[in-house]
Structure 1
Amino acid sequence: MSFRWIPNAISMMRIALVIPILWLIAQDHYLPALLLFLLAGFSDGVDGFLAKRYGWRSRLGALLDPIADKLLIAGVFVMLVLAGLIPVWLAVIVIVRDVVIVGGATAYNFLVRPVQGEPTRISKLNTALELLLVLFVLCRAALGWPPEVSVTVLGACVLVTVVVSGIDYVWSWSQRARGHAQ
């Protein structure tokens, strides 16, 4: 019996967690939202580990995993703005970067060749910092910890990695497309 489907099922479960997390934030139920967010984050690590460790990678999984990440991040950032917990400009920058990446990947997929899910190191760092920022903001809203300064510093780190990773994606995929055209 093959268990290759497990990472994809975990990614789909993570996608299914997005709506309850957003609803809980909208209702100011930050502790349950934090717990579900932690579950989503843990499941992201588990599906990646299983896919790599046992070779259970698939084209579907390479698409589902970043979709789950982007839906979770974009949705939570919007809800945190609406709750007054993060500034609008930060959410806009995070979401615009993701729209540029998804739009670029879609264009590359249809105009050049099929996209292989290959996040860069800076992109992985950016995603980790975005998730950590959400974790800090939800912890602060639910538990009054960590201090505001740590959230501010982490927000600045997210800003830097969003800009650098966005430029990196646009540059590297443009070079790939040019190289493929020649």
Structure 2
Amino acid sequence: MFSPILRGRVGRVPLHRNVPRIFPTYSAWCAPAFTRPFTLNSPLLSPPTRTPRFTPPKERLKILKDRLTPKENIYTIPNLLTASRIVACPFLGYAILHGNFHVATALLVYAGLTDLVDGYLARNFNMSSVLGTILDPAADKTLMTTLTITLGMKGLLPMPLAVIIIGRDVLLSLSAFYIRYTSLPEPKTMARYWDFSIPSAEVHPTMISKVNTALQLVLMGVTTVAPILPIDLADPLWYLQWTVAATTISSGLSYVFSKNAVRILGQGPKQGP
């Protein structure tokens, strides 16, 4: 009756290969355990490398919330193109301040083309993201602020109009920082606040804001290109400046009274800043 075991020893057949014939419940994954040498360095005999540390309940809850917080891919082509527009703004301002309007015009054309391309890719190739809804308007405002300040310093843009445009953008920026903090899921830390892969709120520009942005871009573009054109555009620019002043004030008020301008993720529509 012991012939299978004896044959396993005498016939130089590993013992664990005969065990399944004797014990049907034996599983194959246990087999390597029989063939490991029992030495002092064996993982079966050596103590654990470290003693498990007790984690307080609050810290465990914090780690659990951090792991369960939904994240998204922010490294998309539209977001990279939008970021390149922001990077180009200091060079654009430097060119305007030094009177190099040919380089300024080229950078302005680049900004307009990348704005069109990233919007097309986001809509048609499923590359949209919550960060994109914040980064794209931020890039437009950075470009607009750069043009407003530098053109105003060069005397090409009326200072009262520059104050209206900059003042509106500053108020909206402060509101965006406040909304980001209030809509960020717990725990509210600085690392999580600046981690834009954690979406918290979506910004939906109002219609008057879109019209205002387009008119501001037209005004800044024409004002930037005007010094290198052979024609006088003083009168058309005067009417355009008054129009932009009206739309800038109207768009700022629209964010205050609109209920759909900002939506907190996981909740319904929330009143805008």
What is the TM-score when the length of structure 2 is the normalising length?
A: 0.60
How far apart in 2 are the matches of 1:180 and 1:127?
Answer: 23
Q: Is 1:68 aligned with 2:139?
A: yes
RCO (CA 8 Å, sep 6+): is it higher in 1 or 2? 1
* Residues 101 and 224 in structure 2, CA contact (< 8 A), matched pair in contact too: yes
Answer 1 or 2: which has greater helix percent. Answer: 1
Q: What do the CA deviations read for 1:113-166 (whole angstroms, capped 9, x no partner)?
A: 732021111111111111100111012122244521111111111111101100
**What letter corresponds to residue 42 of structure 1 in structure 2?**
L
Q: What do the CA deviations read for 1:25-71 (whole angstroms, capped 9, x no partner)?
A: 01101121012111101211111111112221112222221111111
Q: Is 1:171 aligned with 2:257?
A: yes
| Aligned ranges 1:110-149 → 2 under 5 Å | 110-111=181-182, 114-145=200-231, 147-149=233-235
Q: What do the CA deviations read for 1:49-103 (whole angstroms, capped 9, x no partner)?
A: 1111222111222222111111110011000011110011111111111111122
Change (3 A) 1:176 1:80: closer
User: Equivalent of 2:101, from 6, 23, 30?
Assistant: 30
More divergent stretch after superposition (55-64 vs 106-115) = 106-115
* Residues 206 and 261 in structure 2, CA contact (< 8 A), matched pair in contact too: no
User: Equivalent of 1:77, from 148, 173, 182?
Assistant: 148
**Displacement after TM superposition at 1:5 (Å):** 1.0
Q: Is 1:97 aligned with 2:183?
A: no
**Displacement after TM superposition at 1:109 (Å):** 2.9
Equivalent residues, number: 178
Q: Which runs of 4+ in 1 moved over 2 A?
A: 108-115, 173-177
For structure 1, list consecutive stretches of 5 or more residues without a partner in the other structure.
none
What is the TM-score when the length of structure 1 is the normalising length?
A: 0.88
Q: CA RMSD in A?
A: 2.4
Partner-residue secondary structure (3-state), 2:180:
helix
Which is higher, the Rg of structure 1 or of structure 2?
Answer: 2
For structure 2, list consecutive stretches of 5 or more residues without a partner in the other structure.
1-72, 185-199, 264-268
**Displacement after TM superposition at 1:21 (Å):** 0.5
